[in-house]
Each structure stands twice: as C-alpha cells, then as structure tokens.
Amino acid sequence: MVPKGAEVWLGTTDVDATVDAADIACAEAVAALGDTPPQALLVFDCAARRAVLQREGMLAELSAMRRHSGNAAVAGCYGNGEIARVRGTNGFHNQTVVACAVG
C-alpha cells in the first residue's frame, strides 16, 4: 500500500541496464581503493534482479564483476536489504546492487 501523499516513480529495466548497474557499482568500488589493487570484491544483488537477468544475464553480470576484480576473488549473493545509499536520503530500493572492494 502506498501512503497517501507519497511520491512514486515508476521505472523499468532490461538485462543490459541491470548488468550496467553492476558494472558501475563494481567500477566505483574498485576506484575507491585508489592505487591499491583489490584483494576481494563482494557484491550483493537484490533477489528481484534474478528475475530480470535470467541465466544469460547473470553470467554477463558476473563477467562484468570479474573485469573489475582483476585477479581478486569475487563473492556475493542475492538477498533482500542490500541497501548502501551513497547519495540522498529518500528512496525505496528494489533491484539494487551493492559492491564492496577490499584492498
């Protein structure tokens, strides 16, 4: 139920946009390490992303993650509650992806 007076933004996505979001999240996480190479890349995907990605999209997403990890291990899971806002304070999160690079 949407509360009276709430603002709502309807959005759509596709496999390419969903994979791109993971690509950007991983790139930003690794970039935050500066000159330190990643030792591990941890990625948490919203379970709703699986419905969009399907098998081929999941493999493309993993490929994007590995491009940023270099020789570091990549680990993660699909779950609920993978919120890690880096901008703003308001929002409902669905189809999110959170990446953490460990240096």
Q: Is residue 58 a part of any domain in this protein?
A: yes
CATH number of the domain residue 64 falls in: 3.40.1260
Domain boundaries, position 25: 15-102
Q: Are 15 and 69 in contact (CB under 8 A)?
A: no
Q: How confident is the model at residue 18 (pLDDT cuts 50, 70, 90)?
A: very high
Q: Is residue 4 a part of any domain in this protein?
A: no
Average pLDDT, the chain: 87
Cα separation, 78 vs 54, in Å, equals 13
Is pLDDT above 70 for 91?
no
Q: Is residue 87 a part of any domain in this protein?
A: yes
Q: Is residue 7 a part of any domain in this protein?
A: no
Q: Is residue 2 a part of any domain in this protein?
A: no
Give tens-digit pLDDT for 34-72.
999 999 999 998 888 888 899 999 999 999 999 999 899
- pLDDT at position 78 is 86
Counted domains in the chain:
1
Among 80, 64, 75, smallest CA distance to 100 is for: 75
Q: Is residue 8 a part of any domain in this protein?
A: no
Q: Is residue 35 a part of any domain in this protein?
A: yes
